[in-house]
Amino acid sequence: MALPTDLAARLKRDANGLFAAIAQERSTGQVLMLAWMDDEALERTLATRRGTYYSRSRQTYWVKGETSGHTQYVHDVRLDCDGDALLLIVDQVGPACHTGNHSCFDTEPLEFGIPLEEGR
């Protein structure tokens, strides 16, 4: 399966042909993780509905949960307005993060240098 021509033309890739893919849990709206995709990873994801990504460190494709059992079933894929990132709406089985946390963003918020203004 090749990417539709109009979709491929809208994607903005980095120098390595990659773009960001953000997985968001369908049931909670929680952002789970950020990973990288190229055209083939996106093609595989669209064909199988399983989150398939490209590992920059190992330089290979990986399917979320293939070894851990912590799978992602992809319900929806959306391209952002600039074409340089995708949002995957997923059902996550088990933790999404390699640390064992449900989300890779299960960390304490960073502190701001100035307080939040009233009414915002």
Q: Give the pLDDT of the chain (120 residues) as one tens digit per residue.
A: 788 899 989 999 999 999 999 999 999 999 999 999 999 999 999 999 999 999 999 999 999 999 999 999 999 999 999 999 999 999 999 999 999 999 999 989 898 888 878 666
pLDDT confidence of residue 120:
66
Domains of the chain listed by start with CATH number? 5-92 (3.10.20.810)
Query: What CA–CA distances, in Å, run from 19 to 32, 34, 81, 112, 116?
Result: 17, 10, 13, 29, 33
pLDDT confidence of residue 41:
97
Q: How far apart are CA 64 and CA 96, in angstroms?
A: 8
Task: Report pTM.
Answer: 0.89
